[in-house]
Amino acid sequence: MHQNIKLILLLVFHFFWVLNGFSQSKTLSKPLKVYEIDGIKLKSFNFDGLQPYLNQKNDTVYVINFWATWCVPCVKELPHFEKLNQKYKGGKFKMILVSLDFPKMIESRVIPFIKNKNLQAEVVVLNDPDANTWIEKVAKEWSGAIPATIIYKNEKRRFYEQSFTEEELETEIKSFIN
């Protein structure tokens, strides 16, 4: 019985990943690598590949969070992101959690983390070590410390080099949802 539920969950999860991949394949670039373990599919990009995620021109609110499994304040605020993703994802709202974990940690740490925490928001990996070339393209004022978050809708955009409480994050998200 337990096994069956697991299998169904896995299938459902997989279905959504496939759907996700399909709906994005038209606008987003080719990943550097696609990891697929335990029903979790995870794409890694260099910065050029990630950039379209940061510059979508439509009326969806995008929340992009830069994090890593080893970053304590990042992991601490992730449940707030997850909770608000659940709350708002039915509308024109898209959350992307950009992992900056080192490539050698993707299979050993990131995928098990996604699985254990049952993360529902989309996770992608940014693998582009020459950060000096891209940090200011994310946000001019970013020093490079994580956690860091961008919220944007079309031309309206805010960057946050800070940790969030759930209330703080929701206030910011609401200011983009008119």
Partner 1 sequence: MKKFKIAFLVLAAGLITAFTTTNPAGYEIGSIATDFSLKNVDNKKVALKDYKEAKGFIVIFTCNHCPYAIAYEDRIIDLDKKYKKLGYPVIAINPNNPEKQKDDSFDKMQVRAKEKGFTFPYLFDEGQKIYPQYGATKTPHVYILQKTDKGNVVKYIGAIDDNHSDETAVEQRYVENAVDALLKKQEVKIKTTKAIGCSIKA
Q: What is the contact surface with partner 1 in residues (CB under 8 A)?
A: 68, 70-73, 100, 102-104, 129-133, 135-136, 142-147, 161
User: Are 161 and 145 in contact, with CB atoms under 8 Å apart?
Assistant: yes
CB of 113 to partner 1, least distance (A): 14
Q: Tokens representing 105?
A: 């940690």
| Amino acid at position 99, single letter | S
Element holding 160 (H helix, E strand): strand 156-160
Q: Which is nearer to partner 1, 67 or 88 (CB)?
A: 67
Q: Which is nearer to partner 1, 130 or 155 (CB)?
A: 130
User: Are 61 and 84 in contact, with CB atoms under 8 Å apart?
Assistant: no
- How many other CB atoms sit within 10 Å of the CB of residue 29? 15
CB of 98 to partner 1, least distance (A): 11
User: Are 34 and 42 in contact, with CB atoms under 8 Å apart?
Assistant: yes
CB of 119 to partner 1, least distance (A): 20
Q: Which is nearer to partner 1, 31 or 147 (CB)?
A: 147
Q: Which is nearer to partner 1, 13 or 134 (CB)?
A: 134
* Cα separation, 34 vs 98, whole angstroms: 14
CB of 174 to partner 1, least distance (A): 25
